[in-house]
Amino acid sequence: MDMQIGSKIKNLRLSQNLTLQELADKTELSVGYLSLVERGKTSLTIINLQKICNALNITMSELLLSTEQDILLVREKDRKLIYEEEGVCYEAMTSGNRSLTGICMIVSDYNTHVSNMHVSDEIGTIINGSMIVVFDNNEYELFEGDTLFIPAHTNHSFRKTSRKECVSYWTYNIRRRD
């Protein structure tokens, strides 16, 4: 999977006429690290993946799912794992090349997780459990059924507050490039 992601990153970088140095400057990551990523020789953290996506003006979902076949119905059992780190799991709720993408985020620990800014607005709804989301010096405690809008290019963090895992659905508007 790392090789496929790395290849997609390289193709996007080249299509935007960016050198590795220019991408490194935009992401504050080293040229050597980015070269390893593009060749699939190292794993990406979610923070570094988000930095690269922001620099390339693409969402993580758009990058990770860009080669998927268009599927109109995704059953819960058929969701593809996008990314997983300790305490947080991201699953694709949509598939294919669409203008909207949906992510199921499952938080199982009580740690604070930092999410770098995204290139598009996002809307999240709590399906199960509760969490606190912090951005723009405001703290929002969200319970089942609550919905939060986070503007594009806004750094934010989140942590679970419920005993049970917190499940939330997030929708992003992917800007198409013609």
Domain boundaries, the chain: 2-57, 70-173
The CATH class for the domain spanning 2-57 reads mainly alpha
- At 56 the three-state DSSP class reads coil
The pTM (predicted TM-score) of the whole model is 0.65
Instruction: Tell me which residue of 82, 83, 90, 18 sits closest to 55, measured CA to CA.
Output: 18
Taking only the tens place, the pLDDT of each residue in 109-160 is 999 999 877 788 999 999 999 999 999 999 999 999 999 999 988 999 999 9
Q: What number does CATH give the domain 70-173? A: 2.60.120.10
Q: Which two tokens stand for residue 55?
A: 């620099």
Are the CB atoms for 167 and 52 separated by under 8 Å? Answer: no
Q: Left if phi > 0, otherwise alpha if psi is -120 to 50, otherwise beta: which for 136?
A: left
For residue 106, the surrounding DSSP H or E stretch is strand 100-107
